Amino acid sequence: MSTTFILSSFEIDEIEKQKKYYENYRAIIIEALKIVQKKRGWVPDSAIVEIAKILNISSSDIESVATFYSQIYRQPVGRNIIRYCDSVVCYLMGYQKIKKVLENHLSIKKGDTTLDKRFTLLPVCCLGNCDKSPTIMINEDLYSKLTPESTINLLESYK
């Protein structure tokens, strides 16, 4: 027995409000995805279809935007999102040691979520903090000049 996915009335109302501000509904795609993600923590495939119906845009157009932006999560994520910078500068400053500590301590690889849903580990191309690398971001907090030891202590502070 399959269940039918339905956006909440709050999600539909918020997307409909955005339609009042734009003639071209393609301009609303990111906001619509953010509305769903804020409510659910991620954007399931079935939400893409429902957003497409509301905006009268093809599902593939919505999907192309959703998959282009790394901040739109297409699968469930943990309570805390760890973004580690894998730019050239962080590479030169030893981000691989930090990445290895994260993967070993959490028992996950990039893109994975811990079994207890506490952390999701995602790479990003740059966090804009190159002069203080290696750098990671946990949720909205930026941490710089990390060492393997400081990284483990940092993880313990996030429950």
Burial class (CB in 10 A: 0-12, 13-18, 19+), 127: buried
pTM for this prediction = 0.79
3-state secondary structure of 123: strand
Query: Both 60 and 103 in a single domain?
Result: no
Q: Are residues 54 and 90 in the same domain?
A: no
Note whether 150 and 91 are same-domain residues.
yes
59 shares its domain with 122? no
DSSP 8-state assignment for residue 8 = -
Domain co-membership, 64 together with 16: yes
User: How many domains does the chain contain in total?
Assistant: 2
- Confirm whether 2 is domain-assigned: no
In a domain, 1, yes or no: no
35 burial (CB, 10 Å; 0-12 / 13-18 / 19+) is: buried
Q: Which amino acid is at 110?
A: K
CATH of the domain at 95: 3.40.30.10
Domain that holds residue 84: 80-157
Q: What is the mean pLDDT of each run of 10 residues along the chain (159 residues)?
A: 80 96 95 96 95 97 94 94 90 92 96 96 91 93 94 91
Q: What is the pLDDT of residue 3?
A: 65
Q: Give the annotated binding-site residues for [2Fe-2S] cluster.
A: 85, 90, 126, 130
Known binding positions: 85, 90, 126, 130
Token pair listed for 45: 């495939």
The answer to whether position 55 is within a domain reads: yes
